[in-house]
Amino acid sequence: MTDVDHPPSAAQQREAVVDLLGVLAYAELSAFERMASDAPLAPGLEQRTALGEMAVAEFGHFVALRDHLTAMGVDATGAMAPFVGPLDDFHDSTAPADWLEGLVKAYVGDGFASDFYREVAEYVDDVPTRELILAALADTGHAQFVVDQVRAAIAADETVGGRLALWARRLMGEALVQAQRVAVDRDAMATLLVGGGDLVKIGELLARLTARHTERMELLGLKS
């Protein structure tokens, strides 16, 4: 998991793991709040409840991550603090205008987070941390509901597909802008994930995340 030329010290590894848990924790907390806020856009109470259930699942992940930080002797609030700005900026720049945009955002965000969990799990040596991350990953099973809703909307109105494809591209663009900002600011985390400033590995990581995003767009019936 380490760059062969520059193996990180135990202190650097710990700093990086705290960053990873911090960014994931704040991502889950803010996703919970935004999804719950977006739920009233739903066309009916059943769909609204389904988005509420997704939001509550995110909050459960947040609690697990926060408690894990606390058990490591880390102040969870401090660990999340560096990521509040980038994640709030992402959400503020991608407020959904309607129910379908909200659904696609929940799906893209949940999927991106899952991919990120999967990448992170491979790079983290600490066994309890890796198990926590894999547990959060296993628990995100609300995707089929979104796929069904979006495909039905496209079937009913072809123009919806084009509009949502553009929206998904914008979401991914804004996410990558903020991810780069975080990578620049948080050296230890970037080093853990891709080795010390290794641009080829950063490129490969982004390529993998983008490829999985494309697969998800195809499942929704959208061009990515």
Which of 48, 170 has the CB closer to a copy of itself?
48
User: Could you give the C-alpha distances from 137 to 83, 98, 117, 119, 195, in angstroms and in order?
Assistant: 20, 27, 7, 11, 24
The residue type at 67: D
Closest CB to a copy of itself among 103 and 124? 103
Smallest gap from Cβ 132 to a copy of itself, in A, equals 18
Q: Which residues bind a copy of itself (CB under 8 A)?
A: 26, 29, 32-33, 36-37, 39-40, 44-46, 48-49, 52-53, 55-56, 59, 62, 66, 76-77, 80-81, 84
Contact call for residues 22 and 83 (beta carbons, < 8 A): yes
| Least gap, CB of 189 to a copy of itself (angstroms) | 19
CB nearer to a copy of itself: give 40 or 128: 40
Structure tokens at 69: 């930080």
Find the shortest distance in angstroms from Cβ 82 to a copy of itself: 12
Nearer to a copy of itself, 13 or 178 (CB): 178
Q: Is 195 left (phi over 0), alpha (psi -120 to 50) or beta?
A: left
71 with 129: CB under 8 angstroms? no
